[in-house]
Amino acid sequence: MTDNSINQLKVLLGEIYDLNSTLAVLGWDQQTYMPTGGAEERGSAMATISRIMHLKITSEELQKCLSICEAQAAGWPEDSDEARLIKVTRREVDRRIRIPADWVASFAEATAIGQEMWEQAKGTSDFKRFQPFLERIIDLRREYASFFQPYEHIYDPMLDEFEPGLKTADVLKIFAILRKEQVALIKEIASRPQVDASFLRLFYPENVQWDFGVEVVSRMGFDWNKGRQDNSAHPFTTTFGMGDVRITTRLIPDNLASALFSTIHEGGHALYEQGFSPAFFRTPLATGASMAVHESQSRMWENLVGRSKSFWTFYYPRLQSLFPSQLGNVSLDAFYKGINRVEPSLIRTESDEATYNLHIMLRLEMEIALLEGKIEVRDLPEIWRDRMKEYLGVVPADDAHGILQDIHWAGGLIGYFPTYALGNVISAQVWEAVKKDIPDLDDLIAQGKFEVLLSWLRKNIHVHGAKFETQELVQKVTGSPIDPHPYLKYLEAKFKEVYS
């Protein structure tokens, strides 16, 4: 009897997994290969699949089956896969049940067309073109918040979608600490002699950039039988299943760092997705614990590994051999400093570690103000320019390099940006834990040996998939809840070295 119910639950969840995976395929194609003419029908298709998935998650059949399973699970070990599967399902069912199916379909449609219009608007740097579509998305997101009343903060329901269990108040507390320290750090750095990074903006043929990126993610451990890489306007990772995890990159000929670090970043996400326990096949446990934990993996590979001296001790000779005319006369030390140069800049994904979180804080402020109705979508370009000037002292020449740079809002991802900064924070906490277990980690990396690191991550984080919530997992792995201080300590140490 017990077996029957949990097996029945798995059948129902398997179907939902398939629908989710299908949505991922539709979304991936939309961002990689779809011709412009396909936008409208793709929007319909994604809306239909989203609505069907929503109805399955909120179906009486699933709820009934889940209730039986919950009753049976009362005596099971709290940490067993089955008990956790039931818990994670309950969380999602309870969230979904508040959302009307029509809203889900409208939202899917609005974000499908939104992403298409964002791409067009970004291409012509014409925010007006995107404005009505973003207005629609913000309206839908405000409606979404209303389904979760009463809440402590209107942003809580957004955050909860990507960070189950975390509250806006917690995030604002962490961000307040980060802001204070990071602003001081940036000021301190600004007073030091500048670092040269101009060699990163020479001409780097796209195909060689691509090949080097493939070399790096391969060595990181990316399994090409279970994934692939394509081009897209905005790099991302998406998962069709444990056997098919895809990353994308964006090659810019006169910007070596852009594709390189975004490829390593997405590779970090992908390693997580390729590393779930096989026991989680076609269940909701076969996903990351949260977006912040996901970002902790991608940002760790991108920054703590990919921008480290050890990493380039191994890879720099190889990179020089691929780009002899561009890098032949640049020393390892100069290269290392160049890729870690701190300079308040326009593009989040290309910003340095010292300023990155400020981009996030600006997005979060705007998201909260939009939801609270304190600002209007039409005013965003101007507000963006003003705040960028205030926070970072730089002003974009056009909207493509300003408010339009990121696809997230077009895809309906309101509540997502904070997870990037939280990911940074967690990555440093995890890194301290890794180093405790692997004292010679730097040496291994300097020899191009990433297996020990990957095995550690697999065993301590990846294999668990979505079994544990963020705070629970961070506590388990690092012995403490989310704490911004290790990250600040890491930043200070690093930039003391770079700006010595």
Q: State the catalytic residues.
A: 266
What would the x/- binding string for a copy of itself be over residues 271 to 290, using CB under 8 A?
-----------x--------
CB of 226 or CB of 449, closer to a copy of itself: 226
Work out how close the CB of 17 gets to a copy of itself at its nearest, in angstroms, rounded to a whole number.
8
Query: Do 140 and 450 contact (CB within 8 A), yes or no?
Result: no
Which residue lies nearer to a copy of itself by CB, 111 or 429? Answer: 111
Residue 77 as a binder of a copy of itself (CB under 8 A): the answer is no
Footprint on residues 198-217 left by a copy of itself (CB under 8 A) = none
> Which of the stretches 227-235, 252-260, 445-453, 457-465 binds a copy of itself when contact is defined by CB under 8 A?
227-235
Which one among 8, 34, 81, 210 touches a copy of itself, defined by CB under 8 A?
34
Q: Which residues 235-254 are close enough to bind a copy of itself by CB under 8 A?
A: 240-244
Site track for a copy of itself across 35-54, x = CB under 8 A: xxxxxxxx-xx-xxx--x--
State the minimum distance, in angstroms, from the CB of residue 99 to a copy of itself.
Answer: 19
- One residue of 2, 4, 7, 29 binding a copy of itself per CB under 8 A: 29
**Comparison of 35 and 193: residue with beta carbon closer to a copy of itself:** 35
CA 97 to chain centre: 26
Does 467 bind a copy of itself (CB under 8 A)? Our answer is no
Q: Does 22 bind a copy of itself (CB under 8 A)?
A: yes
Is 295 known as a binding-site position? yes
The answer to whether 265 is a known ligand-binding residue is yes
Minimum distance of a copy of itself from residue 32's CB (angstroms): 9
CB of 314 to a copy of itself, least distance (A): 27
Residue 61 is a binding residue for a copy of itself (CB under 8 A): no
The answer to whether 336 contacts a copy of itself (rule: CB under 8 A) is: no
**21 lines the binding site for a copy of itself (CB under 8 A):** yes
Tell me how far apart the alpha carbons of residues 143 and 106 are, in angstroms, rounded to a whole number.
11
Q: Which is nearer to a copy of itself, 139 or 223 (CB)?
A: 223
Instruction: Provide the terminal-to-terminal Cα distance of the chain, rounded to the nearest Å.
Output: 67
Query: Please, which residue, 18 or 492, has the CB nearer to a copy of itself?
Result: 18
What is the closest distance, in whole angstroms, from the C-beta atom of residue 88 to a copy of itself in the complex? 19
CB atoms within 10 A of CB 443: 12
Nearer residue to a copy of itself within complex by CB, 105 or 154: 105
Q: Return the residue of 70, 230, 442, 483 that touches a copy of itself, per CB under 8 A.
A: 230
CB 358 within 8 A of CB 169: no
Residue with tokens 């993996």, as numbered in its chain:
297
458 binds a copy of itself (CB under 8 A): no
Q: How far is the CB of 144 from a copy of itself (least distance, A)?
A: 23
181 annotated to a ligand binding site: no
Please give the angle made by the CA atoms of 301, 449 and 215, to the nearest 5 degrees.
Answer: 65
The answer to whether 79 contacts a copy of itself (rule: CB under 8 A) is no
Per rule CB under 8 A, is residue 15 in the interface with a copy of itself? yes
Residues that bind a copy of itself (CB under 8 A): 14-15, 17-19, 21-22, 25-26, 29, 33-42, 44-45, 47-49, 52, 223-228, 230, 240-244, 282
Binding-site residues for Zn(2+) = 265, 269, 295
